[in-house]
Amino acid sequence: MSDAESRPHVRTQAVWAGEGGVFMGRATQVPVVHSVSFGYDDLDEWRAAALGEIPGHIYGRNTNPTVAVFEEKVRILEGAEAATSFSTGMAAISDTLFTLLEPGRKVVSVVDTYGGTNRMFGEFLPRVGVEAVLCPTADHEAIEAAIDGGPRVLYLESPTNPTCKVLDIARLAARARAKGALVVVDNTFATPVNQHPLELGAHLVIHSATKFLGGHADALGGVVAGDAALVEAIFRRREITGATLHPDAAYMLLRGMKTLALRVERQNANALAVARRLKAHPLVANVFYPGLEGHPNHDVAARQMPGGFGGVLSFQLHGDFEVVKRFLPRLRWAHRAANLGAVETVVAPPATGSHVELTAAQRAALGIPETLVRYSCGIEDAGDLIADLEQALAAVG
């Protein structure tokens, strides 16, 4: 895939990237450093470290050795100049938006962003005089017209949640750059195994590390990677707002990331197999997955997601919400829960999960049917997942 000397494969990077330091006692595994402070007998050295003139940690709200390894691993996987981490994905997103935007400036995005991000656009940014222009998600002409209106930031997600729409990141980033806007892409659904937004023209890439990066649904975290000056500005803000990633969580995320490529490759394959089977199933009204040839932006997805189409799909059942209520409890190999990207399959209807705050009419306006089910494939056997879905469909059909 890539030049083996200059850039190892993501499978190799996921294991080794960032872990090259000499750790306490020559440990081969990254130690969890709980110490809040880092001591200096030489005051000149302390001062130089505090000012960033020499490497060195000062205080745990700012930096920490375990957390720094996590940031370095993500930086390398995303091919970024710099990376900085956060206690959650939403902390990463909000500190990034509040760093890049100020009263009187505009952000352009789409209506289908992650629920928390959508609340930032609808509520918290307008409150400080930032206008959020939210376009119909799959309408590239509308997004380009909004970009021509001169926003400071273009904020994208692809594939989107929960209907797996695909945005042409290179096309929209080129337009935004021509207009002097900064391009930010939430890469949580795709992961660096499948998609590299920085290569497609983004200035910054964001992850909820809680999802695929960690992969085990047992640690919260967020990260921003990209242009060094922008990351520095975001880090300087996070130092003060204090949404710092805990070293225990950093360790869990690092441990999870060693198997990122293994997991995501299996999840890609599972999602494609499940999507193809459901597409052919008479009890399923519609399947949303960029890997299906019939997906409206399959060509774009195939170009910008060379690693695969991701582990998340969604499908629409015939009938009403009562069918969903009978169907979901019958699944044996799935948690009914709000997260995604874990080693276990996780299912959720938007009506109780990602879009629970909206009314049925608001969900309909976003193109989210009441009988939609988001299905985040785990690393189980595809045949078992398909058999499980088929028995649950047969029971309600």
Q: Which residues bind ligand PLP (CB under 6 A)?
A: 88-90, 114, 116, 157, 161, 186, 188-189, 208, 210-211, 220, 222
Given the residues 106, 211, 266, 374, select the one marked as catalytic.
Answer: 211
The residue type found at 209 is A
Q: Which amino acid is at 83?
A: A
Question: Contact at 8 Å (CB) between 388 and 334?
Answer: yes
Q: Which is nearer to ligand PLP, 66 or 210 (CB)?
A: 210
Q: What is the nearest approach in angstroms of ligand PLP to the Cβ of residue 39? A: 33
Q: Which residues contact 148 (CB under 8 A, 6 or more apart)?
A: 175, 179
Taking the least distance from each CB to ligand PLP, the nearer of 277 and 355 is: 355
What is the nearest approach in angstroms of ligand PLP to the Cβ of residue 312?
Answer: 9
| Contact status, residue 296 vs residue 361, Cβ threshold 8 Å | no
- Which listed residue (73, 95, 112, 114) is catalytic? 114
Beta bridge partners of 82: 226
Tokens read off for 298: 């399959």
Distance CA 100, CA 226 (A): 14
Q: How far is the CB of 122 from ligand PLP (least distance, A)?
A: 15
Which CB sits closer to ligand PLP, 367 or 397?
367
Q: Which is nearer to ligand PLP, 116 or 136 (CB)?
A: 116
Nearer of residues 17 and 220 to ligand PLP, judged by Cβ: 220
Q: What is the DSSP string of 311-355?
A: SEEEEEESS-HHHHHHHGGG-SS-EESS--SSSS-EEE-TTTTTT
Minimum CB–partner distance for residue 188 and ligand PLP (Å): 4
Active-site residue among 11, 61, 255, 258?
Answer: 61
186 an active-site residue?
yes
- Is 352 exposed, middle or buried, given 0-12, 13-18 or 19+ CB atoms closer than 10 A? middle
Q: At what angle do helices 140-148 and 169-178 cross, to 10 degrees?
A: 20
- Phi/psi region, residue 156 (left: phi>0; alpha: psi -120 to 50; beta: rest), is beta
Give me the catalytic one of 95, 168, 186, 388.
186
Closest to ligand PLP by CB, 49 or 161: 161
Q: How far is the CB of 145 from ligand PLP (least distance, A)?
A: 25
Task: Identify the residue whose tokens are 């400080």.
Answer: 128
CB nearest ligand PLP: which residue? 89
Least spacing, CB of residue 50 vs ligand PLP, in Å: 30
Instruction: Report, as residue numbers or ranges, the catalytic residues.
Output: 61, 114, 186, 211
